[in-house]
Amino acid sequence: MDTDDHLHDGLPDGAAGGEQAAYLFEIREPAFDERIVKLHDKSLYAHEPAQTGLEASGIEDTAEPLEKLLCRDLNPSARQEAAWKLGKIPNMAALRSLITALHEGDESAQVLAAITLVGMGRSGNVGRSVADALIAELKTPDLEVRRKVVWVLWKIGDRRAVKPLVNSLRRDPDVKVRAYAAWALGRLNDSRAIPPLVDALDDSSPKVRWDAAIALAKFGERAIEPLIEALYDYRPQVRVGAANALGWLMDARAITALTDALKDPDREVRQRAAFALGWIKDRRAVATLIAALGDEDDEVRMQAAAALGWMRDERAIEPLARLIEDESEWTRYVALEALSDLEAVASLNAALKHPNSRVQEVAYRALQRLQK
């Protein structure tokens, strides 16, 4: 299965349902800038804009007047046309005008300039110059420009941007720039980015850590060994991110390291290891997951219960039935859902007599689903 495909799936087949966010994970491309995404979806290049008289003025090949229109005109259609025309002028003057619009235009002009630079950067005529100019702009003090430049570099796909983006990932003070850089490095898919992305799993921002883990998963098989090694890193957040990424990759080579991680001193590492083992569904992990049902942390118990349900191994039925007495309501709920996945009718029937009405209700619904 292609990595991107299952990264965008919901839970694995048979996953326990419910609203508990601890094991419901959805991965999307980050909305670098909502206006960029919205405008890009409208396909600036899908059709030429309606003519507004620029041709008659004789300046269709002149960048400076178009730059002024893009940055200053109040008419949105005129601005869009100016951006489109600048993208059609294959020279450095047009490139400089678009860079100027990134710095001096309002946000609408910046967005249009960014989208136009994507098209220009993919052009054989000036594409290399566009990438060079944008890489230089990663050092600008203008925060909004840096954010949009990372987006454009990602869309262009020029791997010469890998090293500068790694530098942004490591050193940029802005959380969004670092997060966008992580995502861009995953999309560029150059193996040189794997070690710095592993380091980024320890970023001070949860958003950057999350996007770094997603980026690493996009490398597929090439990331397996570095991620396994990262499960033994001295930094807890690196171990957490490595467990997440290995779960998304669903590669059985990680089983030993992930079962080791179920004994990690950090509870979040144990939680994510249980989650990952559930996605991989290798039954060699069943005994360790059953042991994790007795973990001191309720979310570890819950994740382990969900994972055992996804694996559908009958050895888990009795331990899961005992978990119905857990002090955590969510753990009891997930245990019942896991028993439903295992089609453990006898255990669910017994739960109908439980003194807790919520347990009775969940067991009844589970039995109703099994009868359909």
Mapped to the 3 state alphabet, what secondary structure does 287-342 carry? HHHHHHCCCCCHHHHHHHHHHHHHHCCHHHHHHHHHHHHCCCHHHHHHHHHHHHHC
Question: Is residue 197, in this structure, part of any structural domain at all?
Answer: no
CATH of residue 324: 1.25.10.10
Q: Is 194 exposed, middle or buried (0-12, 13-18, 19+ CB in 10 A)?
A: buried
CA distance 113 to 32: 15
Q: What is the pTM of this model?
A: 0.80
Question: Is residue 300, in this structure, part of any structural domain at all?
Answer: yes
Q: The domain containing residue 364 runs over which residues?
A: 12-25+284-372
pLDDT, position 277: 97
Cβ atoms 232, 238 nearer than 8 A? no
Per 3-state DSSP, the chain is made up of helix, strand and coil in percentages (nearest 5) of 70, 0, 30
Question: Is residue 17, in this structure, part of any structural domain at all?
Answer: yes
Span 220-274, pLDDT tens digits: 999 999 999 999 999 999 999 999 999 999 999 999 999 999 999 999 999 999 9
Question: Is residue 35, in this structure, part of any structural domain at all?
Answer: no
User: Who has greater pLDDT, 372 or 86?
Assistant: 86
Question: Is residue 327, in this structure, part of any structural domain at all?
Answer: yes
pLDDT higher than threshold 60 for residue 315: yes
User: Who has greater pLDDT, 90 or 313?
Assistant: 313
Q: Which residues have a Cβ under 8 Å from the Cβ of 171 and sit 6 or more positions away?
A: none
pLDDT higher than threshold 90 for residue 125: no
3-class DSSP state of 70: helix
Question: Is residue 309, in this structure, part of any structural domain at all?
Answer: yes
Span 25-81, pLDDT tens digits: 233 344 444 443 344 434 333 333 333 333 334 434 578 888 888 888 888 888 888
Across 138-151, average pLDDT: 94
pLDDT higher than threshold 80 for residue 340: yes
Q: How many domains does the chain have?
A: 1
Question: Is residue 293, in this structure, part of any structural domain at all?
Answer: yes
Question: Is residue 362, in this structure, part of any structural domain at all?
Answer: yes
